[in-house]
Structure 1
Amino acid sequence: MIYTGVDGEKVFSVEKPFLKKDWRATKKLGKKICVIPSDLCLVKVEQAFSKKISEIKSFYTLDVEERYGRVNWDVSLYNDLVFLGVYRNFAAQDCFNVELEVFALARVLQVLGYQDGYLLDMGRRKTTLVKCEEGLLKSYRVILKGGDYLTDVVSQKRGITKEHAERWKIEKGLELEEVLQGIKHILSSVGLSAESEPLILSGGGSKTKGLKDLLPRAESHHFCEPELTSAFGASLKFIVKNPYPDFVKRELTDKELKVSAILAATSMSLFFASYLLLGFLWSSQKMESVEREEFKKTFPNEPIVSLYDQVKSKVSTGEPYELTKKLSELTKRVKQGVKIYSIEFAEGSLRIKGEGKEEVVSLMKPQKVKKTPTGSVEFELEIK
């Protein structure tokens, strides 16, 4: 399997041989994993209030929409930590999956074997600092100042063109006082001191002449050119295990949907059969007497009806179980070609979320629809 991290125009691919744990870099292109720039992301690491991912997702569904509106997001649970990832204003076209740049950079530290450390990524228009503790992302900081900012400072201070300033910056680096002060300002803004260790440098800005003299404990990594670090980290998303949100939509196929309905019907049949069987096995005068006494204590004003008689009455009416009936109706409403992402049964209603072509979804008469950037529509269908 080949995965390709895509960071703008920069790409990096890795190949994982079948049935082997190792991976290697390759020039071939595979499934594209697009990097969402760190300034378009929001990542939070918080203490979990529950051990159930379903409860956590329900909470963040309301919290994220209330705080940030309609955005793309995902959440994951690892031990007692919740990792929340949010991004907006990014069209993920022709991408197998996406990866937030913050998670991609944290994964690079993981691959390098650092349990605790920093990674400073200095690009042309921004600088990102990622901090990991005990092998996991702890925090990060992003400022919209990078190589272009340093070029502008030189241009303004020296009164020269940006093209001339760019050449001087590359040739002299921190020998220019403007570049030195600009770098110090960037490091201070992201909260990094010269004593921070260990520190990995990445991004085109890490090549700035004299930077390693300013940060003597800083190191580079050998896996790829510094400019490709984010793409490299993204390419390993499905190869190097980590607990971060994966932004993978889980969907139920038509076959799985039908199997769910069959299993539900079978389970309820077994449920009723077990009650009937117990009634036959334990029916005796003594048992009926105890049953009547307990029923009278609980319901003193109601006529005495044994549990066996109640179950028998329920079954004899031919009334189907509520969930089974709704699943049966769902199989009739859902059309061929749509994707089902979730099914929820609560308070007597069956709620389904999914995606499909607009002309197909409209035939299902859903309660809510929303167009996606890819031209399809997401829908919510409720069967009461």
Structure 2
Amino acid sequence: MIEFLLNYETLRVIWWILLGVLLIGFAATDGFDMGVGTLLPFVAKTDAERRVAINTIGPVWEGNQVWFILGGGAIFAAWPALYAISFSGFYLAMFLVLLALIMRPVAFKYRSKRPDPAWRTGWDRALFVGSAVPALIFGVAIGNTLQGVPFHFTPDLRPIYEGSLFGLLNPLALYCGLVSLAMLVTHGAAWLTFKAEGMVAKRARAVGTRSAIITAVLFAGGGVLVWLGLLGGYQVTSPIVWDGPSNPLIKTVVADGGAWLANFHAHPMLWIVPALGVAAPLLAAAGFRARLEGWTFIASNLGVVTIIATVGLAMFPILLPSSSNPGHSLAVFDASSSRATLRNMLIATVIFMPLILAYTAWVYRVLWGKVGEKSVEKAGSSAY
């Protein structure tokens, strides 16, 4: 059994799954942080209400961002070619995300340092931008990945990216960005109804009901775009050697508008995942209306998981397709690190991941309970 788990073929698939788990973990945890920040101008009208909203995520946002760091580290170590292409090709977009993510912690730390309304309003706007921009850009990145990215490799495997920032901001990618934004706004609203009291929770419930329906409609519309072949599609046509060398140039890939549906046609049970991607936001909308706070947050999490999982299942075994030279696309079986690297990383993950999950669960247990204006006022300057 251990020998099977540690062979090259299995390790590659395991690390593809783990990459998905890390990205989903980031979206499910830091996603509601970004959702709350995006909702701040709409659910909180007074300084006290804004402090309530911010304090629902203030104690946990730093820990939630660990998933983002782990995801980036996993790409760097397990899929170095993917890291090289995505982080260099999407450099300007990543730079915008980095600026936004820098604004968020600064806003958290400095917002309540002074009682001046203008000072606090400025940091509230920074918190909004620092939350909404990443939520949008991450979806744009997924949209570009589905369509294919213009890159190729030289004979010595040096990656060459041929696109630009404005090429990334194309209509179909922006559509995917809106799906991401609506999904995380819904997730943030579900968190606020679960954690906040008073008018903040009431307004979040109203906004969340609408954004959940929008999420379901946009995601279903994205499925129609895939069905029509408008979001691209790439298929490996040469024999796949799962334990072969990490060389993207030794396979054949063709652009095929229906390729992103091939895995679902081959394995019909997989249709459950995108179906839940539509149904879960609608269940969240019903939960908002029925004021079932816990179930609403669970449904929102389910929506996040299944929407992201749908993309991974549709693209497998492709990691990053090349629109300019499909044969140079990166795949699970030819873009990984060495067997020894994947094996050692898996051993470390088996040891440390349970510790991270246990600590995270303990933190949320300690911080259990709702946040209201009275509790924020009682905390005084120690609160955000």
Q: Same fold (TM over 0.5)?
A: no
Q: Please, what TM-score do these two structures have when normalized by structure 2?
A: 0.20
Structure with bigger RCO (C-alpha 8 Å, 6+ apart): 2
* Structure with higher helix content: 2
* Structure with higher strand content: 1
Structure number, greater radius of gyration? 1
